[in-house]
């Protein structure tokens, strides 16, 4: 089967069909009016972003929050009940008291923080779950110092499963909207540009020289590159998404061929689930039209909870024709002062005394101390953006 193509010549969405549960026109107005009479559930930042991504097809083949069968298969086997690969639970949790007020088979209005209806849930089932089991299976730890586990422990005790419809999207940070493209839109752009092979790059950090290096290595082999930064909920100490986006803008403007790179934002929340999340991000980028996906060192990791190349091992757990998107594995890269370039252990003959380690964590450490970013770390235009943010009260 390999990388299955649809009738446009593009890679098929995960599961074969791109989901669309966005309401428009008269149907939207009717559902919005009906929602005022329904029972209501308030969504947090993560579930709001999940609602949108479910509706626009980014999480295809899912059409709503997972029911018990899919949830348990994903937790234990990294597959949906259909057998299709899926590595992270997409769920909606409520308190036991809230769950008691809801009946299976009814519609429930989904609200944002202002109390406005943003979507509808057709409640098919409600069920309890074991938070410790999910923590160990998904995050490989039950320590609440892990941000994903901490979030899990704060949630309600009951999960609600059922299909959703989207009434209204949450506004993104000012200036983000031009970059907010749904899977149908990115696929349309790739098709217009004649890109048959597209490599996706997921990031939640400003792009440093190591990122630039592996992106350009991948681009040598591909028709196009999708730089797709995550701009949803992240850890409090991560650099704000608006600052990161400005870094991507200047880097693309000055250091990439405009006709072969596309910058768009991914309005999802970060789970910090390491290997499972790396596979998840690849499947999601397949839905956006990518045929290949960059997997670097400690992909989607945090705090030393995962081995540096555990994600590589997990990709190897699945058959390529099941994933239907090709991972491109890149080992740790660094700047070598003798080579005067970003290199890896595969390409550099010099010992480590000449090497400058590059990482988003290191960039944040220097910024926190008010130190300038060396040219070995990042381009001067990016350094200027980060320096201005740091000086103005980061």
In a domain, 130, yes or no: yes
d(CA 351, CA 345): 9
Exposed e or buried b per residue across 253-285, where buried means at least 16 C-beta atoms within 10 angstroms of its C-beta: eeebeeeebbbbbbbbbbbbbbbbbbbbbbbbb
Q: Select from 141, 166, 191 the last residue of a domain.
A: 166
Phi, psi of 202, deg, nearest 5: -100, 135
189's tokens: 């752009």
d(CA 384, CA 323): 40
In a domain, 10, yes or no: no
Residue 312's nearest CA partner among 271, 272, 275 is 275
State whether 115 and 216 are in the same domain: no
Split into its structural domains, the chain has a count of 2
- Active-site option among 21, 169, 187, 204: 204
State whether 281 and 149 are in the same domain: no
Residue 341's nearest CA partner among 389, 92, 349 is 349
Is 287 an annotated catalytic residue?
no
Handedness of CA 368, 374, 378, 383 (dihedral sign): positive
Helix and strand tally (H, E) in the chain? 14, 14
State whether 267 and 307 are in the same domain: yes
Per-residue pLDDT for the chain (394 aa), expressed as one digit of tens each?
344 565 557 899 999 999 999 999 999 999 999 999 999 999 999 999 999 999 999 999 999 999 999 999 999 999 999 999 999 999 999 999 999 999 999 999 999 999 999 999 999 999 999 999 999 999 999 999 999 999 999 999 999 999 999 999 988 888 889 999 999 999 999 999 999 999 999 987 777 888 899 999 999 999 999 999 998 876 655 778 888 899 999 999 999 999 999 999 999 999 999 999 999 999 999 999 999 999 988 888 888 899 989 999 999 999 999 999 999 999 888 899 999 999 999 999 999 999 988 676 777 777 777 777 888 888 889 888 888 888 776 5
Q: Kindly state the helix (H) or strand (E) to which residue 227 belongs, with its residue range.
A: strand 224-229
State whether 196 and 345 are in the same domain: yes
State whether 208 and 236 are in the same domain: yes
Residues near 209 by beta carbon (within 8 Å), at least 6 away in sequence: 335, 342, 358, 376, 377, 378, 379
Domain range holding 55?
Answer: 25-166
In the chain, % of residues over pLDDT 70? 95
In a domain, 32, yes or no: yes
Task: CATH number of the domain at 36, please.
Answer: 3.10.400.10
Evaluate whether 224 touches 186 at the Cβ level (below 8 Å).
no
pLDDT in tens, 54-88: 999 999 999 999 999 999 999 999 999 999 999 99
State whether 162 and 119 are in the same domain: yes
Is 392 an annotated catalytic residue?
no
- Active-site option among 205, 246, 297, 379: 205
Whole-structure pTM over 0.95, yes or no?
no
Evaluate whether 390 touches 367 at the Cβ level (below 8 Å).
yes
In a domain, 1, yes or no: no
pLDDT in tens, 242-290: 888 999 999 999 999 999 999 999 999 999 999 999 999 999 999 999 9
- Across the beta sheet with 341-344, the strand order is 341-344, 333-336, 355-357
Task: Report DSSP state, residue 202.
Answer: E
Evaluate whether 205 touches 239 at the Cβ level (below 8 Å).
yes
């Amino acid at each position: 089967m390999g990388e299955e193509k649809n009738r446009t010549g593009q890679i098929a969405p995960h599961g074969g069909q791109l989901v669309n549960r966005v309401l428009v026109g008269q149907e939207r107005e009717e559902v919005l009016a009906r929602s005022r009479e329904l029972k209501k559930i308030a969504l947090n930042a993560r579930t709001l972003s999940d609602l949108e991504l479910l509706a626009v097809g980014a999480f295809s083949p899912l059409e709503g929050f997972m029911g018990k069968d899919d949830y348990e298969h994903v937790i234990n086997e990294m597959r949906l009940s259909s057998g299709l690969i899926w590595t992270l639970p997409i769920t909606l949790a409520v308190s036991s008291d809230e769950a008691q007020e809801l009946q299976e088979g009814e519609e429930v209005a989904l609200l944002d923080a202002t109390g406005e209806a943003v979507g509808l849930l057709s409640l098919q089932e409600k069920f309890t779950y074991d938070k410790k089991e999910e923590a160990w299976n998904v995050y490989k730890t039950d320590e609440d110092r892990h941000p994903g586990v901490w979030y899990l422990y704060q949630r309600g005790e009951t999960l609600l499963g059922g299909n959703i419809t989207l009434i209204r999207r949450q506004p993104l940070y000012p200036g983000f909207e031009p970059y907010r493209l749904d899977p149908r839109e990115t696929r349309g752009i790739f098709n217009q540009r004649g890109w048959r092979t597209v490599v996706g790059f997921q990031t939640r950090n400003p792009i440093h020289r190591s990122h630039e290096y592996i992106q350009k290595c991948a681009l040598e082999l591909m028709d196009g590159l999708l730089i797709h930064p995550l701009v949803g909920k992240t850890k409090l100490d991560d650099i704000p998404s608006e600052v990161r986006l400005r870094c991507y803008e200047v880097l693309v403007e000055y250091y990439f061929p405009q006709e072969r790179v596309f910058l768009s934002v991914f309005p999802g929340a970060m789970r910090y689930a390491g290997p499972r999340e790396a596979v998840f991000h690849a499947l999601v980028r397949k839905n956006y039209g990518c045929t290949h996906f960059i997997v670097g060192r400690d992909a989607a990791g945090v705090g030393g909870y995962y081995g540096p190349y555990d994600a590589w091992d997990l990709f190897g757990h699945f058959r390529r024709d099941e994933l239907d998107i090709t991972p491109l594995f890149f080992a740790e890269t660094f700047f070598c002062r003798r080579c005067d370039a970003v290199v890896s252990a595969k390409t550099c003959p010099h010992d480590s005394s000449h090497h400058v380690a590059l990482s988003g964590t290191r960039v944040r450490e220097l910024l926190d101390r008010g130190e300038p970013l060396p040219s070995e770390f990042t381009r001067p235009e990016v350094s200027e953006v980060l320096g201005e943010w740091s000086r103005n009260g980061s």
